[in-house]
Each structure stands twice: as C-alpha cells, then as structure tokens.
Amino acid sequence: KNDLLVPFMTTKGITKDGQSMALYANIAVGLEAEIAFSRGAEGIGLFRTEMLFMDHPQAPTEQEQFEIYSEVVKAANGKKVIIRTLDIGGDKPLAYLDLPQEENPFLGYRAVRMYPQYQAMIESQLRALLRASALGDIDIMIPMVSCVEEVKWIYQLCHQCAEQLTMEGQSIGKWRLGIMVEVPSALYFLEKISSWIDFVSIGSNDLTQYFMACDRGNIKIKSLYDSLNPGFIAFLRDIAVTAKRSGLELGICGEMASDRRALPLLLAMGFDEISLSSPNIAMLRSQLHILDSEACQCLLVEVVSKETADEVRECIDAFWQQQS
Ligand code: PEP
Ligand code: MG
C-alpha cells in the first residue's frame, strides 16, 4: 500500500481551487460496502445486484434481498447509496428464467426490457429496496433505459409498490429514482423524463459500446472501443449539459470513471460524483486535489477538437505534466 495515499482515504474529492466531485464505490456484493467505506468511498455509486440473482438456483426472496440492501445502507451510515435493479439477459443469463438464445444479445432482451414479463420478480426487488430505505436513504437506479415509456412504466411501478407497502403498514424512508445512461438515445429524452427522476449515472462501458457500435468484449475491435474517442467525449459533454439543464444529479459508474486521463474531463463536465472500484479511490482523489477547474475546462475544449483518441491521450498526458 502506498503511504502517500493514506491521507486521501479520509478526505473528500475536491480540486485545488475548491470544486467538489465526490468519489463513490462500485460494489457487487453487500459485504463490499464496508470495505469500500474503509477505503474512503463517499458513497456507493453502483451496487450491481446481479450476483444476488445469479448465485442462486432461483430468484432471491424479498426478505433475503431486504437483508442485503439493509446491510449496505447501514454500512453507509447516512452516506449516499445507489442500488441498481436487475441487469440481466443477453450476455448475463439466468437459468431459472429460461431466456431465449439471441443472435445479438447486447441489442436484445435484457435489463429493463424484460421487467414487464418478470414483473413479480422486479416487484420483489423494488419492495425490498423501499423497505430497506426505512434504515437509510436509497437511490434506485434502472439499467439500460432506452425510451420514455420504460421510465414511465418503472416510475409507476415504484409508486405502486410504495403505496402497497404503506397499506400493509410497512415503513418506507427516503428514496429516489434514477436511470443509467447507457443507450445513446438518452441524450434526446433526458429532458422529457426529468420530472420523474432525480439523477442519472453514465454507464460508460455500455454507452461507449452503443455509441461506437462496437462490442465491448470483442478484442478484434478493441481499438474502436475507446471512451477517449473525441466524438464520445463530445457526446458525453452534451449529455452532461442536458442533465444539468434538466436539474438532474450527474454521476458516472463505468470503467471510464477510474481512468486518470478522463478525470479532468469529467470534472470539466460538472459531474457531481464518479463511482469506481474502491482500491482506486484514494489515488484518483489525490489526483483530483492537484487539478484546477478552469484549466480542465480549457483541456476539454481542446480535446474535443482532436481527430483521434491517440491525439486525445497525448493532449491529456501533456496537460498532466503541467500540473503540480
Ligand atoms: C456500464 O455499462 O458502464 C455499467 C456500469 O454497467 P455494466 O458494466 O454492469 O454493464
Ligand atoms: Mg451497463
């Protein structure tokens, strides 16, 4: 462990000139929450709940889920917790759902697209999340949203579950709804759904894949799958502008969030939080502390004018050399 980073495990994410950007952690099992907080996470920015469902011969019960979500909010002790609803299908099968084989699983029947067919299962997850919110605030995040109807549907289902729980005499705390931005169409519907949700988080892994029409796991086209492509950076900037204009909190939880090169760009775009695997938090926070927000704004302008991702990298590397 690098001793120089120890101080950055307890501070908050802030630039040299005082612009805040919180560093949250991505987790995949409940137990990881406590470890993440011990490493300096200012919140949980993405709890991928798939493992809960994939580890079992059948779907976990509402009570089993409630206990795990409760454990995470208790570990958070008042810090922000964003829990993502089930993101399966396509490349992530579930034996007990009997999903069809597909020719294009990444473009197929996955995540929120499957929710209406498996409504009872999704209701059990939403109910467990709402019940756990009684022990600490929960932000519920929906994956792979690609149109307005999906948001409307899930918004109504959340409120229906909340009303049902209240009628049953169960207590519910503060909860909010948000979506992942992973499908490029989001840029053009964010404003229209802004009264139904409170926040968005960029899933840069999938967003890059769909923006570049490039399978995120195919090594033959690895050089195309690049979040530092200048077109992608300009696209991300436009999403950020739209999200802010629509009054939505803005985060990012894909791999791009842990890339030191992307850090000054995300800061310039006004991200409220970036979420990454917890071992990298202290390092990135130490880097954030030496940045100047105005210099980052200039860098962003310069970077989007470049032609290639390699030129973008050169430009960012030269920028970092000038920081002290
Ligand atoms: C993403 O797509 O960037 C993301 C965070 O979701 P996942 O990697 O789980 O698809
Ligand atoms: Mg994704």
Backbone angles phi, psi at 2, to 5 degrees: -85, 110
Closest ligand by atom to 50 CA: 1
Which residue puts its alpha carbon closest to atom 9 of ligand 1? 48
Report which ligand 1 atom has the smallest distance to the Cα of 202: 3
110 Cα: distance to centroid of ligand 1 (angstroms): 13
- The residue contributing the CA closest to ligand 1 atom 4 is 203
Residue 179 Cα to ligand 2 middle (Å): 11
* Reduced 3-state DSSP string for the chain: CCHHHHHHHCCCCECCCCCECEEEEEECCCCHHHHHHHCCCCEEEEEECHHHHHCCCCCCCHHHHHHHHHHHHHHHCCCEEEEECCCCECCECCHHHCCCCCCCHHHCCEHHHHCCCCHHHHHHHHHHHHHHHHHCCEEEEECCCCCHHHHHHHHHHHHHHHHHHHHCCCCCCCEEEEEEECCCCHHHHCHHHCCCCCEEEECHHHHHHHHCCCCCCCHHHCCCCCCCCHHHHHHHHHHHHHHHHCCCEEEECCHHHHCCCCHHHHHHCCCCEEEEEHHHHHHHHHHHCCCCHHHHHHHHHHHHCCCCHHHHHHHHHHHHHHCC
Closest ligand 1 atom number to CA of residue 253: 5
Confidence (pLDDT) at 1: 58
Residues around ligand 2, an ion, CB closer than 5 A: 182, 203, 206
- For residue 204, give the ligand 1 atom closest to its CA: 3
Q: Which of 182, 255, 275 to mutate to test the pocket of ligand 1 (most atoms within 8 A of CB)?
A: 182
The pLDDT of residue 297 is 98
Q: At what angle do helices 230-245 and 309-322 cross, to 10 degrees?
A: 70
pLDDT tens digits, one per residue of 171-194 = 999 999 999 999 999 999 999 999
Tell me the ligand closest to 274's alpha carbon.
Answer: 1
pLDDT digits (tens, 9 = 90+) for 114-163: 999 999 999 999 999 999 999 999 999 999 999 999 999 999 999 999 99
Residue 4 is predicted with a pLDDT of: 87
The ligand that comes nearest to the alpha carbon of residue 92 is 1
pLDDT at 56: 83
Question: What pLDDT shows up at residue 253?
Answer: 98
Ligand 2: distance of its center to the CA of 262 in Å? 18
Q: In the chain, which stretches have pLDDT less than 50? A: none
Atom in ligand 1 nearest the alpha carbon of residue 254: 3
Closest C-alpha to ligand 1, atom 10: 206
CA 98 to centroid of ligand 1, rounded, Å: 23
Q: Of all atoms in ligand 1, which is nearest to the CA of residue 46?
A: 5
Protein residues whose CB sits closer than 6 Å to any atom of ligand 1: 46, 48, 87, 182, 203-206, 253-254
How much distance in Å is there from the Cα of 323 to the middle of ligand 2?
Answer: 33
Pocket probe mutation, ligand 1, options 26, 29, 48, 88, max atoms within 8 Å of Cβ: 48
